[in-house]
């Protein structure tokens, strides 16, 4: 426990509001967690899997109406509506607190209230921050201890400080009409009720480390971003770190853990994963931009993960992992999902818990089925992962799913243009959130659902960071692994072969690769992308040329979409971005 009065007082307040039968403080010890796992098994919250094949692994199913984030029920409750901005749902704090107090009133009667102190980032790091999550879900506890540094060490690090985030969660009745994921940036508080799905309830993750932290970063001069962090070690032993922002289900985990193509492996390339979802970035004493991964685990998409697409992710799930909403193979008590392997499941349960086999017409796993595993399971976890100083970032990469328009890769002319490139990101929607219309939506910096304040002010903050970083600012790029042909098939092999593109990026930041100027930015010459060994995938120089093509007609259409999007922000839109847009338009004629 702790002597921190602010924490103790808040726990008392929450206790009298929610009226639990019992309070359990999570100390972070393996003995306590093991006991909670046993209780969770007894209650049927998780089921142990085959302990020979999958030691320490469990399967969980969420309620059928509770399988993903709910953007329409996610609120930023700043005092002023304009501080939440046009891309967030807003509600006045008093009104939301009033509504939620009613829902939380006595909600934990008959239940246990778990108090989870946690630290986002390495203990002792200047970049780290503490939170306390109170929850009535043992599933949340078991996931949080994988995803963050939990227990006494977090409280010790906090000491008497009042700089911590208050996270209150209850599964309530899982009533989706009263589901609320709410953020009070001015109070450093998060209240979440009536969900049990990861992104809505593991409050350290999107709620704190992005929505609240983005507000803190703006105030304190740093950045919280929806970015993976990876290190590329060249044969000479020098490692270059890249941070990349792609929207949900657009390839962050896959890129963060990529396995180099054969020819690169032979040449001595290595890729190191620092993080797969969130980066906190701050200017270091040397003037450069340094990044930490505030998390300690992966909450990854299961479907599509296999020994070919992402062996490091699959290996990460082979022990001490909690699976959610995948197929339970009852024959050998293991798990399966679409795209895992060619094996047939003859006797299974689908993600809904109904009997299922490989001949069943419906998919067995939910497309947003997930695994929660600790970073230490990952064969390519970076030795720098836990470094309190973080890693120095040389390049920032934006990307999304675009069947057309966006080329395989291009580089922004400079930081300001790079902020523009991030601000106009578009991506086809995925199943990571419920109820999104199909099609392309603008998702600036992959932060549309995660920015805790007015997106226009967020762009201003990016521009300011660039001024502060000056010549030390990372170079900014945009990639698209999802260009498709007329039949809707991807024309770039993707996955490990994405290193071929990152390699050009690394050469660019080290001043070694050339580029050609196009209307949208700098591009490699087709022959600058190494395609050795890709002949059997049909990748020729012509194909690369096609992948890099900038179709001015499509871009002009995009400019119209961007204009419309920008209009939402009125006078708050930074003038620099307005000018960037008009410059792009001129270059497209
Ligand atoms: P979140 O956890 O939701 O933030 O997702 P993420 O950005 O980490 O995405 P992830 O790496 O889990 O990939 C999502 C989906 O995209 C999976 O189905 C992958 O198989 C697919 N994918 C990832 N990388 C590539 C790629 O390079 N090419 C193609 N075609 N698909 C990819
Ligand atoms: C995402 O949707 O971007 C995720 C999963 O990483 S969740 O934790 O649900 O946000
Ligand atoms: Mn994510």
534: its two tokens: 């890709």
Q: Which residue puts its alpha carbon closest to atom 29 of ligand 1?
A: 494
Strands (E), 189-306: 189-193, 223-225, 227-233, 239-245, 270-275, 279-283, 289-292, 297-301
Q: What pLDDT sits at residue 174?
A: 98
Ligand 1 centre from 495 Cα, in Å? 9
Tell me the two tokens of residue 355. Answer: 């009997």
Which tokens belong to 550?
Answer: 């900038």
Q: What CATH number does the domain located at 5-44+69-220 have?
A: 3.40.449.10
The CA-atom distances, in angstroms, between 296 and each of 123, 204, 248 are 12, 11, 19
Ligand 1: residue of 205, 226, 249, 255 to mutate (most ligand atoms within 8 A of CB) is: 249
At 54-63, the pLDDT tens digits run 999 999 999 9
Q: By CB neighbour count within 10 A (0-12 exposed, 13-18 middle, 19+ buried), where does 44 fall?
A: exposed
Cα distances from 279 to residues 197, 306, 411, in angstroms, run 22, 25, 21
Ligand nearest to the CA of 253: 1
Q: Whose CA is nearest to atom 3 of ligand 2?
A: 248
By residue count, the chain amounts to 589
In this structure, which ligand is nearest to the CA of 302? 1
pLDDT tens for residues 361-400?
999 999 999 999 999 999 999 999 999 999 999 999 999 9
Tell me, in angstroms, the distance from the centre of ligand 3 to residue 514's CA. 33
Closest atom, ligand 2, to C-alpha of 197:
9
- Nearest-CA residue for atom 17 of ligand 1: 304
Q: Which ligand has the nearest atom to the CA of 195?
A: 2
Copy the structure tokens of residue 107: 């909600």
Compute CA 228 distance to the chain's CA centroid, rounded to the nearest angstrom: 7
Please list the pLDDT of the chain residue by residue as tens digits (589 residues).
Answer: 899 999 999 999 999 999 999 999 999 999 999 999 999 999 999 999 999 999 999 999 999 999 999 999 999 999 999 999 999 999 999 999 999 999 999 999 999 999 999 999 999 999 999 999 999 999 999 999 999 999 999 999 999 999 999 999 999 999 999 999 999 999 999 999 999 999 999 999 999 999 999 999 999 999 999 999 999 999 999 999 999 999 999 999 999 999 999 999 999 999 999 999 999 999 999 999 999 999 999 999 999 999 999 999 999 999 999 999 999 999 999 999 999 999 999 999 999 999 999 999 999 999 999 999 999 999 999 999 999 999 999 999 999 999 999 999 999 999 999 999 999 999 999 999 999 998 899 999 999 999 999 999 999 999 999 999 999 999 999 999 999 999 999 999 999 999 999 999 999 999 999 999 999 999 999 999 999 999 988 999 999 999 999 999 999 999 999 999 999 999 999 999 999 999 999 999 9
Q: Sign of the C-alpha dihedral, residues 128, 249, 422, 481?
A: positive
- The Å distance, Cα 21 to ligand 3 centre, comes to 35
Q: Would you call 464 helix, strand, or coil by DSSP?
A: helix
Over the stretch 445-494, which tens digit does the pLDDT of each residue have? 999 999 999 999 999 999 999 999 999 999 999 999 999 999 999 999 99
Chain Cα centroid distance, residue 205: 8
The conformation of residue 212, written as its DSSP 8-state character, comes to I
What is d(CA 340, CA 307) in angstroms, rounded to the nearest whole number?
Answer: 8
Q: Which residues line ligand 1 (CB under 6 A)?
A: 246, 248-254, 276-277, 300-301, 304, 309, 432, 481-482, 490, 494-495, 498
| Active-site residue identified among 119, 215, 250, 273 | 250
Within 6 A (CB) of ligand 2 lie: 69, 198-199, 205-206, 248, 277, 299, 432
43 CA to centre of ligand 2 in angstroms: 26
Domain ranges of the chain: 5-44+69-220, 225-296+383-571, 298-374
Fold assignment, 225-296+383-571: Phosphoenolpyruvate Carboxykinase; domain 3 (3.90.228)
Q: Ligand 1 centroid vs 392 CA: distance in angstroms?
A: 25
Task: Tell me the CA–centroid distance for residue 277 and ligand 3, in Å.
Answer: 5
Measured by CA distance, the residue closest to atom 22 of ligand 1 is 251
**Catalytic site residue 250?**
yes
CA nearest to 529, candidates 502, 566, 550, 551 = 502
Mutate to test the pocket of ligand 2, among 70, 277, 373, 450 (most ligand atoms within 8 A of CB): 277
d(CA 228, CA 238): 20
Domains 5-44+69-220 and 225-296+383-571 share a fold: no
> 588 alpha carbon to ligand 1 midpoint, in Å?
31
Alpha-carbon distance of 546 to 528, in angstroms, equals 14
Residue nearest to atom 8 of ligand 2 (CA): 199
The SS3 assignment for 76 reads: strand
- The CA angle 525-526-529, to the nearest 5 degrees, is 100
* Residue that is written with structure tokens 């320490």 in the block: 56
In this structure, which residue's CA is closest to atom 15 in ligand 1? 249
β pairing state of 409-411 and 475-479:
antiparallel
Ligand 2 atom at minimal distance to the Cα of residue 206:
10
Q: What are the φ and ψ backbone dihedral angles of 233, each rounded to 5 degrees?
A: -95, 120
Atom of ligand 2 nearest to the CA of 247: 3
Can you give the pTM of this predicted structure? Answer: 0.98
**Nearest protein CA to atom 4 of ligand 2, as residue:** 248
- Protein fold of 298-374: Phosphoenolpyruvate Carboxykinase; domain 2 (2.170.8)
Residue 16: phi, psi to the nearest 5?
Answer: -70, -25
The number of the ligand 2 atom at minimal distance from the alpha carbon of 301 is 5
């Amino acid at each position: 426990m702790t002597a921190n009065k602010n924490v103790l007082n808040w726990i008392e307040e929450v206790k009298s509001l929610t009226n639990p039968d019992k309070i359990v403080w999570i100390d972070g010890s393996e003995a306590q967690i093991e006991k909670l796992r046993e209780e969770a098994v007894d209650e049927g919250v998780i089921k142990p899997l085959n302990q020979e094949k999958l030691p320490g692994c469990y399967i969980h199913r969420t309620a059928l109406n509770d399988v993903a984030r709910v953007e329409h029920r996610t609120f930023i409750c700043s005092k002023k509506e304009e501080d939440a901005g046009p891309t967030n749902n807003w509600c006045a704090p008093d009104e939301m607190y009033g509504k939620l107090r009613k829902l939380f009133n006595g909600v934990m009667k008959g239940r246990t209230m778990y108090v989870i102190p946690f630290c986002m980032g390495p203990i002792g790091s200047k970049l780290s921050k503490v939170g306390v999550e109170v929850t009535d879900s043992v599933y949340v506890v078991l996931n949080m201890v994988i995803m963050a540094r939990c227990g006494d060490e977090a409280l010790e690090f906090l000491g008497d400080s009042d700089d911590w985030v208050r996270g209150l969660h209850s599964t309530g009745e899982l009533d989706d009409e009263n589901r609320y994921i709410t953020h009070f940036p001015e109070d450093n508080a998060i209240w979440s009720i009536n969900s049990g799905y990861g992104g809505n309830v593991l409050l350290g993750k999107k709620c704190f480390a992005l929505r609240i932290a983005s507000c803190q970063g703006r105030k304190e001069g740093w950045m919280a971003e929806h970015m993976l962090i990876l290190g590329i070690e060249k044969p000479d032993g020098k490692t270059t770190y890249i941070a990349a922002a792609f929207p949900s289900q657009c390839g962050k985990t896959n890129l963060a853990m990529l396995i180099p193509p054969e020819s690169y492996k032979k040449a001595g390339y290595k890729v190191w994963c620092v993080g797969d979802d969130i980066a906190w970035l701050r200017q270091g004493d040397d003037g450069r931009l340094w990044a930490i991964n505030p998390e300690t685990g992966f909450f990854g998409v299961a479907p599509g993960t296999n020994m070919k697409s992402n062996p490091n992710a699959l290996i990460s799930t082979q022990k001490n992992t909690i699976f959610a909403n995948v197929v339970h193979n009852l024959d050998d008590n293991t798990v399966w999902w679409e795209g895992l392997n060619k094996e047939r499941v003859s006797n299974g349960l689908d993600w809904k818990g109904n009997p299922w086999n490989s001949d069943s017409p419906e998919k067995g796993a939910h497309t947003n089925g997930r695994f929660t595993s600790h970073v230490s399971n990952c064969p390519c976890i970076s030795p720098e992962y836990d470094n309190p100083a973080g890693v120095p970032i040389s390049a920032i990469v934006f990307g999304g799913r675009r069947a057309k328009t966006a080329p395989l890769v291009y580089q922004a002319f400079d930081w300001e243009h790079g902020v523009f490139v991030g601000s106009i990101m578009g991506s086809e929607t995925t199943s990571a959130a419920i109820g999104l219309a199909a099609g392309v939506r603008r998702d600036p910096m992959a932060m549309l659902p995660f920015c805790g304040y007015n997106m226009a002010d967020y762009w201003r903050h990016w521009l300011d960071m660039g001024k502060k970083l000056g010549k030390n600012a990372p170079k900014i790029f945009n990639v698209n692994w999802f260009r498709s042909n007329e039949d809707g098939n991807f024309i770039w092999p993707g996955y490990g072969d994405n290193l071929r593109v990152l390699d050009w990026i690394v050469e660019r930041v080290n001043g070694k690769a050339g580029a050609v100027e196009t209307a949208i930015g700098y591009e490699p010459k087709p022959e600058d992308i190494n395609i050795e060994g890709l002949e059997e995938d049909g990748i020729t120089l012509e194909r690369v040329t096609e992948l890099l093509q900038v179709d001015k007609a499509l871009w002009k259409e995009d400019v119209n979409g961007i204009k419309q999007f920008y209009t939402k922000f009125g006078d708050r839109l930074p003038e620099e971005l307005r000018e960037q847009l008009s410059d792009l338009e001129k270059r497209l004629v």
